[in-house]
Amino acid sequence: MGVVKKICCIGAGYVGGPTCAVIAHQCPDIKVTIVDLSQARINAWNSNNLPIYEPGLDEIVFGARGKNLFFSTDVEGAILEADLIFVSVNTPTKKSGMGAGMAADLAYVESATRKIAEVAKSSKIVVEKSTVPCRTAESMRTILDANSHDHIRFDLLSNPEFLAEGTAISDLLNPDRVLIGALQTPEGLKAQQALAEVYSHWVPRDRVITTNLWSSELSKLAANALLAQRISSINALSAICEATGADVDEVAYAVGKDTRIGPKFLKASVGFGGSCFQKDILNLTYLAESLNLPEVAAYWHQVVIMNEYQKKRFVKRIITKLFNTITNKKIAVFGFAFKKDTGDTRESAAITLIKDFIDEHAHVRLYDPKVEESQIWIDLSDVSGADAAKKHVTLFPDPYSAAEDADAVVIVTEWDEFRDTKLDYQRIYDSMKKPACIFDGRLILDANKLRKIGFKVDVIGKNELAGKA
């Protein structure tokens, strides 16, 4: 395989869309076609209202679309003409059958792979982009070999994506590293170089790491597991802080100053969410179990158990502080996305929290600046049933109306607009029932400032004794 001139990306989601849009933007000499089975999704990518909210994404897409970047449902046509194909389809956790609740559902990867084998009339480099369990490439290779036409070569690479939502474009434009795994054969190494060449349009060569296929697949799971482990570690410490009067921000700052530990991913919170962390750790756990390594499986599983505990602990603290009952109380929830600067709600802590509030018969008054209303109802109906969700949850267009007459405000997502430098908390206080309580699940508020207004303030990883003898 020589120089890559045409790229096809199968799957126009959170990974495939931004990644391949940036490749098109940075490589004007390469034609990039992003395909998806969903006509609605492709229509949105071709409109002025892109299906994904990411800072900076509009400029990148609008700049390249129609020139060397195309969105289409013609999966077969795009496969036919491509030299290199990214497989960026979804790999959700299995809901039933063997490995349910743990293993990744590879049905979409398999069907995309079968499609490539069926359609291709010339040799292709096929690249795993979706996060997949270790050794998925082996299954893809078997499918490709068993179904392809004569004289066609498929070279399989693993090129996991490390972008984080909300910062996807800057992560893609300036990645810490690009990882490309290949079979250590002459053909595999040639394909690896061809993809490295694509990235060399804008990524310095020393940031492109080349490894064997399995190291690349496992590195993606390992990176996410280690990041999530840091959050569960600081969240475990936040429980000790609340019980002792230590301040979790101070502890995180103090330990993060050790260059061996470093300051990032030590922000205590109501629990991590997002499409990757939980899924990937469960994947890793399942892999360890399948390899008959139960101690390893239990070790990683504990990261997820701690995350669930953190959410439950926060709900319990809220109920306790609201005089041991929230039945019929009005709880204003600020934020529904799993983190700021995204409209994505997958595995958002807000979903678990609101389900618990509904179970306690509270009235939830919800505001999020970006999440689509329809998505909120889908997520809440999934966990609580549509009737209970509609009965107990009301959506508001701004934080002020959500907080009106509420017993408590709960900060669930760290949107900048919720900070006390941006919102008028005096106005919020004046409109609430008294005592007016505020629960900061993201450590974004100046508790003392709010206490001066009159709020009763609770912050994860802090208690009112903090700093007192």
Site residues (vs ligand ADP, CB under 6 A) = 10-16, 35-38, 41, 75, 88-90, 108, 111-112, 130, 275
Binding-residue pattern over the window 146 to 175 for ligand UDX, x denoting contact by CB under 6 A: ---------------xxxxx----------
The structure tokens listed for 234 are: 């600081």
The overall longest dimension of the chain from CA atoms, in Å, is 79
Is 89 labelled as part of a ligand binding site?
yes
CA dihedral 315, 316, 319, 322 (to 10 degrees): -100
CB 120, CB 155: distance < 8 Å: no
Q: Note whether 460 binds ligand UDX by CB under 6 A.
A: no
Which of ligand UDX, ligand ADP, none lies near 112, with the C-beta cut-off 5 to 8 A by kind? Answer: ligand ADP
The closest alpha carbon to 411, from 341, 337, 468, belongs to 337
Residue nearer to ligand ADP on the CB measure, 38 or 215: 38
- For residue 435, cis peptide bond before it (omega within 30 degrees of 0): yes
Is 11 labelled as part of a ligand binding site?
yes
Which of ligand UDX, ligand ADP, none lies near 360, with the C-beta cut-off 5 to 8 A by kind? Answer: none
Alpha-carbon distance 94 to 96, whole Å? 6
Residue nearer to ligand UDX on the CB measure, 70 or 314: 314
DSSP assigned state of 419: S
Q: Write the Ramachandran bin of 467: left for phi over 0, alpha for psi from -120 to 50, otherwise beta.
A: left
Q: Note whether 231 binds ligand UDX by CB under 6 A.
A: yes
Alpha-carbon distance 118 to 86, whole Å? 16
276 is catalytic: yes
Is 2 labelled as part of a ligand binding site?
no
The active-site residue out of 8, 27, 241, 276 is 276
Residue nearer to ligand ADP on the CB measure, 8 or 333: 8
The structure tokens listed for 419 are: 């900070």
Which of ligand ADP, ligand UDX, none lies near 162, with the C-beta cut-off 5 to 8 A by kind? Answer: ligand UDX
Residue 29: C-alpha distances to residues 5, 68, 71, 278 (Å): 7, 8, 17, 38
Least distance to ligand UDX, CB of residue 89, Å = 16
Residue with nearest beta carbon to ligand UDX: 274
Sheet with 393-395: strands ordered across? 393-395, 363-367, 330-334, 408-411, 437-440, 456-459
Which of ligand UDX, ligand ADP, none lies near 265, with the C-beta cut-off 5 to 8 A by kind? Answer: ligand UDX
Q: Work out whether strand 408-411 and strand 154-158 pair parallel, antiparallel, or are unpaired.
A: unpaired
Least distance to ligand UDX, CB of residue 224, Å = 5
Least distance to ligand UDX, CB of residue 271, Å = 7
Question: What value, to the nearest 5°, has the Cα angle with vertex 161 and ends 383 and 42?
Answer: 65
Q: Note whether 227 binds ligand UDX by CB under 6 A.
A: yes
Q: Note whether 88 binds ligand UDX by CB under 6 A.
A: no
Alpha-carbon distance 334 to 166, whole Å? 18
Kindly tell me the burial class for residue 120, based on how many C-beta atoms sit within 10 Å of its own C-beta (0-12, 13-18, 19 or more): buried
Residue nearer to ligand UDX on the CB measure, 115 or 339: 339
Least distance to ligand UDX, CB of residue 227, Å = 5
CB 336, CB 350: distance < 8 Å: yes
- The residue assigned the tokens 């439950």 is 312
Least distance to ligand ADP, CB of residue 224, Å = 13
Alpha-carbon distance 432 to 453, whole Å? 12
Residue nearer to ligand UDX on the CB measure, 276 or 358: 276
- Which one among 19, 158, 224, 310 touches ligand UDX, defined by CB under 6 A? 224
Helix (H), strand (E) at residue 70 = strand 69-72
Q: Where in 246-305 is the site for ligand UDX (CB under 6 A)?
A: 265-267, 269, 272-274, 276-277
Residue nearer to ligand ADP on the CB measure, 131 or 219: 131
Residue nearer to ligand ADP on the CB measure, 148 or 210: 148
Q: Note whether 236 binds ligand UDX by CB under 6 A.
A: no
Is 12 labelled as part of a ligand binding site?
yes
Which of ligand UDX, ligand ADP, none lies near 124, with the C-beta cut-off 5 to 8 A by kind? Answer: none
Binding residues for NAD(+): 11-16, 36, 41, 89-93, 130-131, 165, 276-279, 346
Q: Which residues are catalytic?
A: 276
- What is the binding site for ligand UDX (CB under 6 A)? 161-165, 224, 227, 231, 265-267, 269, 272-274, 276-277, 338-339
